[in-house]
Amino acid sequence: MSPRSHRLPFPAIPHRVPIGAAHRHLHEMAPWVADLIIGSSTLTAVVPLPSMLPRLTTLSSCLASLPAHCTRTPTIRLLSRMATRASPTSPSPSPIGLTRLAAAPPDHRPIVVSGPSGVGKGTLYNLLFQRHPETFCLSVSHTTRAPRDGEQDGVHYHFVPMESFEDLIAKDGFVEHAKFSGNRYGTSKMTIEEQTKKGKIVLLDIEMEGVRQIKQSSISARYVFISPPSVEVLESRLRGRGTEKEENIQKRLAQAKNELEYSQIPGVHDKIIVNDDLERAYKEFEDFVYKPLES
């Protein structure tokens, strides 16, 4: 089994116990920890919940008894995060039963997520952010459209007047920008640079034209397309929002058909995910994000 995909718990295998006081201490108090592959910066533990809670409680006690100088390694911090999930004060487990814990994906390139409006892109990447808050961030786009109910400037979008948007275009401030339904959207270069300097992996939620522009730019990225099960299902989702006029729904459906055709061009996207089941689609999305680097 790959070191990046070990599952807990395993029976103790003494000859595989990692060397070191902290690891030896853990093995003595909770032998099932011994089969973890310790020390890799890409260590991943797939933790089934809630069946692991009793053993995670034991792990929590073990970690609490470690000397302070033994608790600073990335591996011990990962184990601490696992143990935290067993705390009675922790939030209830997500309905998606498997959670991946890792310091960071092996591939640090920005992730470009595209797909028709209403397909569920935001639901998928927000789940990723909830599970890995220290690792990923969303590139907040600029737009000239008015905010929808509940949207906050600087959180969902940077809402700017047309004059400011055009000024950024003139200054070559966007890595991509496009016009959709009479409004302008764009991803600023500064936003990506600032988050990358903070050690974050940036995720971009953009339209088809933006994908084309980024592919022609100097940015090396990974491309994921989220597809609906069918155009009919997508239409039902759009109408279910209750926020769109009929004219806008028809425009979005027409755009969706163009995007679906574009997604079928070989080499455009690295991964296509059909969002017909949230749990399955999320697992497929997370597996792609944490995919090992190809040699």
d(CA 295, CA 61) in angstroms, rounded, equals: 40
User: What residues form DSSP beta bridges with 178?
Assistant: 185
Give the count of alpha carbons within 13 A of 222, CB side only.
22
DSSP 46-102: EEETTTTHHHHHHHHHHHHTS-GGGS-SHHHHHHHHHHHTTSTTSPPPPSS-EEEE-
* 8 A C-beta contact, residue 47 and residue 36: no
Q: What is the pLDDT of residue 60?
A: 53
Q: Which three-class secondary structure state does DSSP give residue 226?
A: strand
Checking if the pLDDT of 145 tops 80, the result is yes
Region 172-183: mean pLDDT is 90
pLDDT band at 89 (very low <50, low <70, confident <90, very high): very low
Q: Would you give the DSSP letter of residue 20? A: S
User: Looking at the predicted structure, is the pLDDT value of residue 81 above 80?
Assistant: no
| Selection from 32-41, 76-85, 102-111, 161-170 with the highest mean pLDDT | 161-170
Those residues with Cβ within 8 angstroms of residue 284's Cβ, 6 or more apart along the chain or in another chain: 271, 273
Q: Where are the domains of the chain?
A: 3-100, 111-289
d(CA 239, CA 118) in angstroms, rounded, equals 9
CATH hierarchy code of domain 111-289: 3.40.50.300
Helix residue ranges per DSSP H, 65-157:
74-84, 121-131
Examine the pLDDT at 19 and tell me if it is beyond 50: no
Mean pLDDT confidence for 107-131: 94
Q: For position 180, what pLDDT does the model report?
A: 80
9-13, 151-155, 233-237, range with the lowest pLDDT: 9-13
Max alpha carbon distance in the chain (Å)? 67
- The pLDDT of 40-51, averaged and rounded, is 37
Question: What does each C-alpha distance from 242 to 149, 236, 238, 257 come to in angstroms?
Answer: 12, 11, 8, 21
Q: Quick one: pLDDT at residue 78?
A: 54
Least reliable range by pLDDT among 3-17, 79-93, 111-125, 211-225: 3-17
Lowest mean pLDDT among 3-17, 57-71, 161-175: 3-17
Rounded Cα gap, residues 43 and 28, in angstroms: 22
**pTM (2 decimals)?**
0.62
What separation, in Å, do the N-terminal and C-terminal C-alpha atoms of the chain show?
19
pLDDT(123) > 90: yes
User: Residue 49: exposed, middle, or buried by beta-carbon count in 10 A (0-12, 13-18, 19+)?
Assistant: middle
| Mean pLDDT taken over the chain | 76
